[in-house]
Structure 1
């Protein structure tokens, strides 16, 4: 389905997208990967967006009895281009780039019930900057609920770049085929159990000789992290690296990332190794609940940083055990 957003009236777009969101609006290649189910304008710069989280997703499926918290990030990531197109008139072909991303949630609201989760997002946009009639940047504050239960909040800021501006910004890296061709060899993965995964293919970290220092694995064949060709490491890959580094820091203790505070400093390129460092502050042992500081460094420069709050999971009242990692599913 193709829609020229600039020619559509807001009322027409509301009718068109109130019950289903075509993949083009959230910048996905496969329609089944679209989490969003509808959008509704509430007031100027305020919107209601709905989503559905599947329980059989082979990458973002439930783990340790809870919905994957990165579904929060992916839902908001899809909302960024959706509202850019339908609410702020951004034509297709423009790119939205994260600068900051934060969330804080109650893990009790993420407990998986065995069926799809219905998600509601109350979104307020602020600091809307336009130049020459075109959107330049926006800040979004999102309050989320899952199956009617308040989950928490998300705040993110992003910029919008036109097809004329982006190649000038990226220079030689704007050529996707050439950027991929220059990729460093894919390093071997950590053991999946160390990072709360069950498949080697889903591990995004490679071990080194230094404790809690790993190499980012950039696997262009991964069907979800690289749903479509890109010229740099996607933001969701970096968030996954921060989450996996947190699990590695927790050791054998089952934890869930109940908060993240992320800053994207620069693009992570394919042609140089990117090092992921996790640090646990004194008195903030992850096994007892605490914060893990994760940074990504490339060519001696910080490209990404995150502070992840790791909350230990309690054993089930019925079994006295914590459920194991997500089951291994084929793609």
Structure 2
């Protein structure tokens, strides 16, 4: 797919006036809604408007640049909005994410003196229906800021009924113990780009060398962003956060950020079972970017895997 570096999508300013209803993006807190509007462009493409705050309680800026994982969350929300608002997917459907990836130009994501308005070109493919109801799709997203390309990404998911999802989850939920496993002690927040232990999703390392490491996964269901609403499993965005933190732990103290991430999800990660995050530096750094291969394992199986490229944070990246 050709992606122009400069594009005038003529997004109506009204698309940025307010956030979309929170149920469209499966969020409970209005503050966690990034999408502000959408309109159809053609039979396969939609224009989606998004706004990022100058400071977010969890996805905060570093070195004057927006957190790249905001791109992943925005792609996730854009896919939900297109599915519900444009393709008439019922709001009670459950979504199963299979993969999510992004690439960003950090210099183009400099934090300004106000919130950052982004215009997304969302192109859908592999659209599937079960009867007349959406059953899944793949979406490719191009991010434009002031008409210039600053990032891109894509993801795919299935949509299933609540009854089908309950049947899928029943065997695992039947074996859930009365109490979930206690959280492991966190690593030093400074090693993983965090300020507070509460935001750390890696426990004290099980194994560690300069090139690779293994950490217990620790995700608190009380976390207001990673668990914006109650779930019976660890969500995909929390697993991507674990991939980010494992990457930063291996590359510390270099001032790097996850400028590219390609994640796949093959099975649920249960809240009550022990899970391990494994990471290793993959080859030599290229163009200042360090590639890190990460996996999340539970019960001896890989549940999620990713390739993260940690790139330098531009110095003084603040735009007017």
TM-score between both structures, scaled by the size of structure 1 = 0.85
DSSP-derived class of the 2:76 partner: helix
Distance 2:26 2:177 in 1: 19
**What pairs with 1:61-210 in structure 2 (closer than 5 Å)?**
61-173=60-172, 181-210=178-207
Deviation at 1:179, TM superposition (A): 5.2
Deviation at 1:269, TM superposition (A): 0.5
Which residue is 1:299 aligned to? 299
Deviation at 1:278, TM superposition (A): 0.8
Which residue is 1:266 aligned to? 267
Worse overlay, 293-302 or 164-173:
164-173
DSSP-derived class of the 2:203 partner: strand
Deviation at 1:257, TM superposition (A): 1.0
TM-score between both structures, scaled by the size of structure 2 = 0.88
Q: 1:46 to 1:315 in 2, by over 3 A?
A: closer
Which residue is 1:11 aligned to? none
Q: Is the 8 A contact 1:117 1:147 kept in 2?
A: no
Q: Is the 8 A contact 1:173 1:231 kept in 2?
A: no
Q: Is the 8 A contact 1:18 1:39 kept in 2?
A: no
Distance 1:141 1:70 in 2: 16
Q: 1:216 to 1:312 in 2, by over 3 A?
A: same
Find out whether 1:290 has 2:287 as its counterpart.
Answer: no
Deviations 1:103-141 (A, max 9, x none): 122111112123211111101101111121111110101
Which residue is 1:245 aligned to? 246
Deviation at 1:159, TM superposition (A): 0.5
Distance 2:40 2:177 in 1: 39
Which residue is 2:6 aligned to? none
Q: Is the 8 A contact 2:111 2:317 kept in 1?
A: no
Q: 1:317 to 1:160 in 2, by over 3 A?
A: closer
Q: 1:83 to 1:317 in 2, by over 3 A?
A: closer
Q: How many matched pairs?
A: 301
DSSP-derived class of the 2:238 partner: helix
Distance 1:317 1:218 in 2: 31
Distance 1:196 1:291 in 2: 17
Which residue is 2:312 aligned to? 312
Deviations 1:36-82 (A, max 9, x none): 11011111121011011001211112112210001101111111221
Distance 2:265 2:285 in 1: 24
Q: 1:110 to 1:317 in 2, by over 3 A?
A: closer
Q: Which runs of 5+ in 2 are unaligned?
A: 1-13
DSSP-derived class of the 1:164 partner: helix
